[in-house]
Amino acid sequence: MTTGPSHHTDPDQMRARLTGIGLMCGAVLSFACLDAIAKYLNGYMDTLQVVWARYTGAFVLTLFIFNPVSRPGMMRTSRPLLQLVRSAMLLGSTITNFLAFRYLQLDQALAILFSTPFIVAILAGPVLGEWIGWRRWVAILVGFSGVLLVTRPGVGDVHWAALYSVASAVFYSLYIVATRVLSKSDTSDTTLFYSNLVGAVAMLPVMPLVWNTPDDPFIIFLMVAFGAFGSFGHYLLIVAHRLAPASVLAPFMYTQLVWAIGFGFMIFGDVPNSWTLAGAAVVVASGLYLLHRERVRGTA
């Protein structure tokens, strides 16, 4: 007896998507560590020096694993201009995000940045051809409503530095879309290499103007770890986008808000209010629902 064609996702594709979601969750944990270190270092040096440490540390560390000598052809890209534009978008997002950390709590800054999945979902259709169904739209909007619970726009004064977070969200959305496009033509190693290279080279001329030599061994250690978290997180992000569509992965960056609340409390003594906790609960619930939908689609 034969059965009609299945409308469910192919099992191999399903496994790839679930793996991509897992990698995305690992990436945002790395980014949460990165952001906590950035906010901490902001108290000891200029923000532009913090950005330089992030990219230079990542570039130097990854050279031991991914370099043109051990991997011939790694610098070869079929879309060099897009690689440069993508790296510039990431650099712009990093600078504006770190500037926001000077004035805002981690959860406040990231809550605004988490409008990114909504922007990505809008761009993914016309740019990538990844149109999403109504259930995912509802889940994205529910997750975004959790962000609104945290920020409560129009209730109380909004710090002007929130504009930095808005700019960071726009830059980061364009970066994610470009990452997905490049995943179809360039290797993950190549894309990661250019991300770190462009950021390190672009920040180098600025250093003589803002340089402050650290003398605390712990601060030096954090500057090194800073680059490691950034490089590892973006490598996971690149591989995740190779396995799953951007519209599937984007909502899971909401889980970074939970890490931000935890790190903000443990490191900086920032106590989240009831609105922040309620918003985080909504964010997590929307992410879990999306994961459930992916499993349902893959069940024959």
Residue 258 domain-assigned (yes or no): yes
Give the mean pLDDT per block of 10 residues along the chain (300 residues): 50 86 91 93 94 89 75 81 93 94 86 77 76 78 79 64 88 90 83 88 94 91 86 84 80 80 90 79 77 61
> What confidence score (pLDDT) does residue 122 get?
78
Residue 3 domain-assigned (yes or no): no
Domain limits for position 229: 11-297
Residue 152 domain-assigned (yes or no): yes
Determine phi and psi for 153, rounding to 5 degrees. -60, 135
Q: pTM for the whole thing?
A: 0.77
Residue 6 domain-assigned (yes or no): no
> Measured between alpha carbons, how far is 227 from 66 in angstroms, rounded to an integer?
15
Residue 1 domain-assigned (yes or no): no
> Measured between alpha carbons, how far is 115 from 109 in angstroms, rounded to an integer?
11
> What confidence score (pLDDT) does residue 211 get?
93
Residue 42 domain-assigned (yes or no): yes
Residue 242 domain-assigned (yes or no): yes
> What confidence score (pLDDT) does residue 166 get?
87
Task: Please tell me the total count of domains within the chain.
Answer: 1
Residue 83 domain-assigned (yes or no): yes
